[in-house]
Structure 1
Amino acid sequence: MHSSGPAEEEQPRKRVPWGVMALVLLTGLALIRNGSGEFDTGPPQPASAAAADSRTTPQGVFARAPGPLPYSVVDRVRIPSIQVNAPVMPVGLDRDGWVDAPPPQDANLAGWFTGAVSPGEKGTAVLVGHVDNVRGPAVFYGLGALRKGNRVDVLRNDGRTARFEVYGVEVFRKDAFPGDRVYGDRGVPELRVITCGGGFSERDGYAGNVVVFARMVGVR
């Protein structure tokens, strides 16, 4: 992990408005378009009990959440409960206005969407990654198996690790994606981790996106 401080990093001057991103996803365009769907069992799907709390601001375990961190680029994501330990590259929007994704040939690589805040800043940060590729499962294949209380650690370039706790895991159809609910600013540091999920067809690919909702609970 790099040790350079935040003073050495340049924060992007312009970020994509969430309303625009929500519109892109609500059109039903695939966020991650290279899932193969060729494996008999398929990726795990979220259990109904893992659905996010419908309240705007979950309470309880988040009552003593730490204050937000300054901007920093992202180095790595670790999700111990599903054996994820992957480098993270910055991604933006592709030429068609869709959220880009890491190269599909690198199965163990996640992307941080730079049109949002960095993980640990006030607001909602977004990590994306493939569920599979032509060779088999990819970095976020197991995302649907996460449960409330699981941990997501994001290692930042400034030497800090932002620790997030999962409070919901859901799958949403791409033609009815609740952009405001997923991406809206809750006033505290939150994280969304997204991959493809739901049913699969040869013609249309995956029908939905698995979304993990998490909130920062610690900094190391």
Structure 2
Amino acid sequence: MPSAPLRRLAAAVFLSAAVAGTAACGGSQPPSAGPDASVTAAPGASSPAPSAAAEPVPIRQATPTPAEEIPDPVGISVDGTGIELEVIPVGQEPNGAMTLPGNHYQAGWYRFGPAPGSSRGAAVLAAHVDSRTEQLPIAGLDEVPAGTPLTVTRSDGSVLRYTTQEVKNIPKASLDQFDLFDRGGAPRLELVTCGGKWLDSVGDYEDNVVLTAVPVP
């Protein structure tokens, strides 16, 4: 553990690792916020004339699948710990790294991925492990036992409840393999911060601590 001033504000750490393809305190580089590409005809292209003998093609109106309308998360707490944070939506830095709030009392929710309460995929929340002067409550994330309840408060006043499935220390060098920002699969919550050894040689933590929680039915 580094001495005073305590470990550097994790925003700088976050960005330095993202350049190499991983994001400190936020996991692997998140997927782009852009919409899926669609195929369009080239400008000026015309459709071939139908054959006189061709049968008419039935037309059916396409009905798009409506997007999930889910309230934003505004708070998260982990029962039996001092971890209780305001949550704000965040995006990406110019280099593709997930943005983190620049303070000790907020966690960032990656707004271009699933939200807590989505029917599929990982909702990712990340926060700093320390400030310039003190260790923050989320520094105890690596000690949260499986089965610990979590509560997410949403902008409409509703509350979601989760149960901790596991907590892992994942070396930043291999975090891309963890698929932290997965948009598919079963719904889950990923709460992330920095952890492991402080490496003076690179001015960074060795690991990310990732708590995975699943919704309470």
Instruction: Provide TM-score, normalisation by structure 2.
Output: 0.66
1:26 deviates by 7.3
Partner of 2:187: 189
1:27-176 to structure 2, matched below 5 A, reads: 27-31=21-25, 70-103=69-102, 106-122=103-119, 123-176=121-174
The one-letter amino acid paired with 1:108 is: Y
Q: Which has the higher contact order (CA 8 A, sep 6+)?
A: 1
Q: Are 2:82 and 2:138, in contact at CA under 8 Å, matched by a contact in 1?
A: no
- RMSD of aligned residue pairs (Cα, Å): 2.1
The one-letter amino acid paired with 2:85 is: A
Per the alignment, do residues 163 and 141 of structure 1 end up closer, same or farther by CA in structure 2, a change over 3 Å counting? same
**What do residues 169-189 of structure 1 show as CA deviations (whole Å, max 9, x unaligned)?**
001111111445433356432
Q: Are 1:90 and 1:113, in contact at CA under 8 Å, matched by a contact in 2?
A: yes
Structure 1 consecutive aligned stretches of length 4 or more whose deviation exceeds 2 Å: 24-32, 178-189
Identity %: 27
Per the alignment, do residues 153 and 26 of structure 1 end up closer, same or farther by CA in structure 2, a change over 3 Å counting? farther
Task: State the distance in 2 between where 1:147 and 1:25 align.
Answer: 32
Per the alignment, do residues 113 and 29 of structure 1 end up closer, same or farther by CA in structure 2, a change over 3 Å counting? closer
The one-letter amino acid paired with 1:74 is: P
- Is the partner of 1:171 in helix, strand or coil? strand
- Is the partner of 1:143 in helix, strand or coil? helix
Instruction: Provide TM-score, normalisation by structure 1.
Output: 0.65
Bigger Rg over Cα:
2
**What do residues 105-130 of structure 1 show as CA deviations (whole Å, max 9, x unaligned)?**
x3221111112111011221010000
- How many residues are treated as equivalent by the alignment? 157
